[in-house]
Structure 1
Amino acid sequence: MTAADGAPARRLRELEQGTTSAQALAFFDSLPAVAVAELTGAWRGNEVPTGHRLDGLLGAFGWRGKHVASPEDVHPLVFETLGSLYSINPAVVPLGVVLRFPGALRSAAAQRAFRLLRGALRTSRPRARLRMTEHRGVLTATMIYDTLPVHDVFRRVDADTVLGVMDARGMHEPFVFALRRDGAGSGS
């Protein structure tokens, strides 16, 4: 499977329809590393449903993706409401609660509360950095959140698409997501 024949992109589209954590990680392990410089720019994100307890949460709250201005200036949580983009400060995300009680956040009341509070949750400051780290035996670009025990680790699907796994303290299985370069015409 080479990037030139488009097989990784096709496989990712298949996995985005729903898969298991083991299948998603096998695909992740088959992909090449990503250099930090390759991640500069705006990225549209979507979850790869694996049965993870966080599946569906980001999308329900309007997650758009990530923005990398430079390796030192990363916005890891970019959301969209009525065409307007804004970054959420991960420091205000109660990660322990989210991981323990994700079902409670799927309620209409939780989504209304987010809409009411999103002004207080916003930030214009970068809240993560990129570094090369070794994960699953491969040295690759990793987004390190400033205030949460979260690392988003990336592998290249093609020039405009990466597969990410969120590795966080307290999660037994990683949360899997894809990022497509904004404006790359990914069809998603």
Structure 2
Amino acid sequence: MTNPAPDALARLSAGLLTTGAALEIFDRLPPASLAKMIGDWEGRGVATGHPLDGLLEAYGWRGKRFDSPEAAHPLLFGTDGGVFAISPAFLPLGLALRFAPLLRHRAVAAIGRPALRLLRSRRPQARLRMVEYRGVVTATMIYDALPILDAFRRIDDEHLLGAMDLRQSERPFFFLLRRR
């Protein structure tokens, strides 16, 4: 099998992919290790037509931070006041999936962005474990309060492809992480 990493980043960044095409790329990438996850990661979604496409970015999502396998911060947001972690426990995930087009609207997001500060948390909201996902044991973030797993595959030393597996969605939401 050829190494998919050299063109994976270009394909994932080029524009709308089908979920199948994103899964094909994901499945060909090597697993991520826990040790290589530690640090700050800048994030952005991969457009696959998933209801969450563009939603996190509309609210100022900046990425994820992994302090240790026991201390992960899955949602970092940024405003003029800096970057802060939030607790996803109070996010209405079902509503977000159902009403994503409305929630992505510029006026709605402008109201919602400041409200995220009410969810600020200094405590970790997830953990990292090695979990089998799609037949490969790879570094996976397990959210503490929501039925969500983020499985990671390594593109290169500075980039990861994440697949968010959430109970309320039939297909994963894809995102890229770049080491800060």
Instruction: State the TM-score bracket (shorter-chain normalisation).
Output: over 0.9
Aligned pair partner of 2:61 in 60, 63, 70: 63
Asked whether 1:99 is paired with 2:97, we answer yes
In structure 2, C-alpha distance between the alignment counterparts of 1:125 and 1:177, rounded to whole Å = 23
Match of residue 186 from structure 1: none
Structure-2 separation of matches of 1:101 and 1:119? 21
Matched, 1:137 2:170: no
CA deviations over 1:98-120 (Å, ceiling 9, x no partner): 11211121123421332331221
After TM superposition, the score normalised by the length of structure 1 is: 0.90
* TM-score (ref. length: structure 2): 0.94
State the partner residue of 2:82. Answer: 84
In the other structure, the counterpart of 2:11 is 14
For 1:46-61, list aligned pairs within 5 A.
Answer: 46-61=44-59
Structure 2 unmatched runs, 5+: none
Number of residue pairs matched by the alignment: 178
Identity of aligned residues (%): 50
In 2, the alpha carbon distance for the partners of 1:162 and 1:106 equals: 25
Structure 1 stretches of 5 or more lacking a match?
183-188
Maintained 8 Å contact 1:88/1:123: yes
Would you say the 8 A contact 2:162–2:176 is kept in 1? yes
Secondary structure at 1:123's aligned position in 2?
Answer: coil
SS of the equivalent of 1:68 reads strand
What is the CA distance between 1:9 and its match in structure 2?
4.1
C-alpha separation between the residues in 1 aligned to 2:111 and 2:58? 13
Q: C-alpha root-mean-square deviation of aligned residues, in Å? A: 1.3
Q: Counterpart of 1:181? A: 179
